Amino acid sequence: MKIAILSKGAGNYTTKRLKEEAKKRGHEVTVISYTKCYMEIESSHPVVRYEGQNLSGFDAIIPRIAQSYTRYGSAVVRQFEMQGIYTTASSIAITRSRDKLRSMQLLARAGVGIPKTLFAHETSSFDDLIQQAGGAPLIIKVARGTHGNGVVLAETNKAAKAVMQAFFVEGVNFLVQEFIKESAGMDIRALVVGNKVIASIERQSLDEDFRANTHQGGVGRPVKLTDEERRTAIKAARAMGLPVCAVDMMRSNKGPLVLEVNSSGSIKTPELTTGRNVAEKIIEYIELNARRRNKKDRVGA
């Protein structure tokens, strides 16, 4: 098979591992910096150009789209989709997963457990937001933050109101979320491939930071999921339309609560911590599904 990995960093751990495992299994692999791609928009003739050449003949693409390039990266993925090329993450699923409001709405509609969440933009009804979220302490986030950035723990109602006022003045979309005390400083990342959780880690902050994200200095260790947690991760992935993804959730007295479904989650900590060959499982999944899709297309032609 001919596989393209859409990534800004050829030296990125996840990109390198995916390329390594794909080549080991006999595939031709190209790493493409999607921000340097450009597209020809013409009726019935979708073309992606890169360094003066048409990108064609691929059997599958693996999008590794960074948060800050979601819009353009998704457009590049969409152009490949228009060529009928199999992708591990559709353009619409990537876009949905990066929109916190939309993703929470999809998860809630699917019956996936999530922390009680309120979204706001221009409202000045701060007292009501605080009350509806259950009162301080509260988590307040900018709607498009990533890696734990733009997240504040407001320990009092007064502090929560001050943070919301700042966001209100700046015209920033923000969300107010209940604080799950029993999970403070710890969350779980489950890597889903197809209908299986292939690796799971527990991420714990090293200090008093309530964020467990490894980008914020948290540390990961292997964790055994309960059956309910496993089902929740798979259900969340399905709700977002992402067969290959990372599901972040926390343990609570109400059961597992999903925080985010990441379409480009890093496999570095899960692989190094658990010893599982995550990259191989992703390539195996692509082999099965890309070939099945291509065979179906040939039959229908």
Q: Would 35 be classed as within a structural domain?
A: yes
227 Rama sector, left if φ>0, alpha if ψ -120 to 50, beta otherwise:
alpha
- Other CB atoms within 10 Å distance of the CB of residue 67: 16
Same domain, 28 and 170: no
Write down the pLDDT at residue 268: 96
d(CA 165, CA 160): 9
Write down the pLDDT at residue 143: 76
Give the number of residues written for the chain: 301
Same domain, 215 and 247: yes
Q: Closest by alpha carbon to 198, among 123, 105, 278?
A: 278
Same domain, 106 and 249: yes
* DSSP SS3 for 98: helix
Kindly report, residue by residue over 214-273, the tens digit of the pLDDT: 454 467 899 999 999 999 999 999 999 999 999 999 999 999 999 999 999 999 999 999
Same domain, 123 and 61: no
Q: Would 79 be classed as within a structural domain?
A: yes
Same domain, 187 and 252: yes
Write down the pLDDT at residue 218: 61
Q: Would 287 be classed as within a structural domain?
A: no
CATH number at residue 233: 3.30.470.20
Domain residues for the domain of 9 are: 2-89
What is the pTM (predicted TM-score) of this model?
Answer: 0.89
Q: Would 162 be classed as within a structural domain?
A: yes
Same domain, 61 and 83: yes
Give me the residues paired with residue 225 across strands. Answer: none
Q: Would 139 be classed as within a structural domain?
A: yes
- In the chain, the number of structural domains is 3
Number of H helices, E strands in the chain: 9, 16
CATH number at residue 135: 3.30.1490.20
Which among 133, 157, 179 is the end of a domain? 179
Same domain, 20 and 65: yes
- Other CB atoms within 10 Å distance of the CB of residue 234: 17
Kindly report, residue by residue over 63-117, the tens digit of the pLDDT: 999 999 999 999 999 999 999 999 999 999 999 999 989 999 999 999 999 999 9
Same domain, 107 and 219: yes
Same domain, 107 and 205: yes
Q: Is pLDDT of 292 > 50? A: yes
d(CA 34, CA 50): 8
Same domain, 108 and 142: no
Kindly report, residue by residue over 158-181, the tens digit of the pLDDT: 999 999 999 888 888 899 999 998
Same domain, 172 and 138: yes
CB environment 154-187: b (16+ within 10 A), e (fewer): beebebbbebbeebbeeeebbbbbbbbeebbebb
Q: Is pLDDT of 149 > 70? A: no
Determine the residue type at 5.
I
Q: Would 172 be classed as within a structural domain?
A: yes
Kindly report, residue by residue over 8-49, the tens digit of the pLDDT: 988 999 999 999 999 999 999 999 999 999 999 988 889 999
Same domain, 8 and 67: yes
